[in-house]
Structure 1
Amino acid sequence: MKNHKIQRGFTLIELMITVVIVGILAAIVVPNYSDYVRRSALQEALSTMSDLRIRMEQFYQSNRNFGTDTCGHDGTAGRIDFSVPNARFTYACALTGTAPVSANEAYVITATGSTGGAVGHVFTIDHNNVKKTTRFKGGSVDKSCWLIKGSEC
């Protein structure tokens, strides 16, 4: 009997097919993962804004206004802090009341994406619980809801 050596390994064609399959999977997975990370960042903003709105309503119940010179501040030590540590959004509040409503009887809270998947997104909520999206995925929009996925409410 002749002693034949068995060669082990992959042929060039097998390696090329494997690289193509991995490339196709990566082309599908990476965008989906990026969108998942972006949507999770948006949920942070929406829940924080809802919490801030509740705190503003509680402030109103105690003071009969939304603030004397700034949102959630009555001129004393009692104030609502709109800075959220380690957040992907920055939050701001503006008193927006006009006649016949006084300046401290209306407000708008704005969340602006500052880092990561949140950049390019701006959401607002006001004293009437009207929710709006003014920037979504970096583009200007004017939607009367908070967009998470897609372009329709």
Structure 2
Amino acid sequence: MPLRKKKGGFTLIEVMIVVAIVAILGAIAYPSYVAYMQRGMIAEAIGNLAEMRVRQERYFQDNRSYVSAGVTCNANLASLTTGLEQRYFTLGCAGTANTFTAWANGTGAVNGINFTINQDNIRQTTAFPGTVGLPLNCWISKRGEAC
């Protein structure tokens, strides 16, 4: 009597179990990955705002005012943001002769995340999805983080 050869391969139930396990792992990993990517994008805003403040203070030391020809923020925003990469955040600034507030507002993947800094080096997170108690007197990099 001839022996039957055992056929190789997977049964449908085995394939479905593997697909279910991969789906569960993906559902857990994807939100963590998105948060990780956002933290990297937030570094752009933090670096740019710190650099803007340094440029503002340098201008103030030379001119004893944040205003030039009636315009705040180093005479115009273009000179203040020259060389600063603005891929994920748009930068802005407003103020008076003795005060200024610079901000970075998120766009695209970081839309809804906003940071500010002023002449007294007070750093604030004014908007961050999923975070309560705003504004916070620090820059946070992930949801639910506290100062």
Asked whether the two chains share a fold, i.e. TM above 0.5, the reply is yes
Deviation beyond 6 Å, 4+ runs, structure 1? none
- Partner of residue 71, structure 1: 73
Letter in 2 for 1:109: A
- Structure 2 counterpart SS, 1:148: coil
Q: Note if contact 1:124-1:131 (Cα within 8 Å) is conserved in structure 2.
A: yes
Letter in 1 for 2:74: G
Q: Kindly, what percent of the aligned residue pairs are identical?
A: 36
Give the superposition deviation at 1:138.
6.7
Q: Number of aligned residue pairs: give it.
A: 142
Q: Note if contact 1:82-1:93 (Cα within 8 Å) is conserved in structure 2.
A: no
1:22 lines up with 2:13 in the alignment? no
Give the superposition deviation at 1:143.
0.8
- Structure 2 counterpart SS, 1:80: helix
- Partner of residue 98, structure 2: 105
| Larger CA deviation: 5-14 vs 27-36 | 5-14
What is the alpha-carbon distance in structure 2 between the residues aligned to residue 71 and residue 148 of structure 1? 26
- Structure 2 counterpart SS, 1:104: coil
1:131 lines up with 2:123 in the alignment? yes
- Coordinate RMSD, CA, aligned: 2.2
Give the superposition deviation at 1:82.
6.3
| Distance verdict in 2 for CA 1:94–1:83, change over 3 Å | farther
Give the superposition deviation at 1:84.
4.5
Q: Note if contact 2:59-2:66 (Cα within 8 Å) is conserved in structure 1.
A: yes
What is the alpha-carbon distance in structure 1 between the residues aligned to residue 130 and residue 111 of structure 2? 7
Give the superposition deviation at 1:63.
1.5
Q: Note if contact 1:134-1:142 (Cα within 8 Å) is conserved in structure 2.
A: yes
What is the alpha-carbon distance in structure 2 between the residues aligned to residue 86 and residue 128 of structure 1? 24
What is the alpha-carbon distance in structure 2 between the residues aligned to residue 86 and residue 145 of structure 1? 21
1:146 lines up with 2:139 in the alignment? yes
Residues 36-94 of structure 1 show CA distances to partners (whole Å, capped at 9, x for unaligned) of 111111111011100111111111122121122221118xxx94236845521111000
Unaligned runs of 5+ in 2: none
- Partner of residue 56, structure 1: 56
- Partner of residue 38, structure 2: 38
Unaligned runs of 5+ in 1: 96-102
- Using structure 1 for the length normalisation, give the TM-score: 0.83
| Distance verdict in 2 for CA 1:133–1:53, change over 3 Å | same
| Distance verdict in 2 for CA 1:57–1:86, change over 3 Å | closer
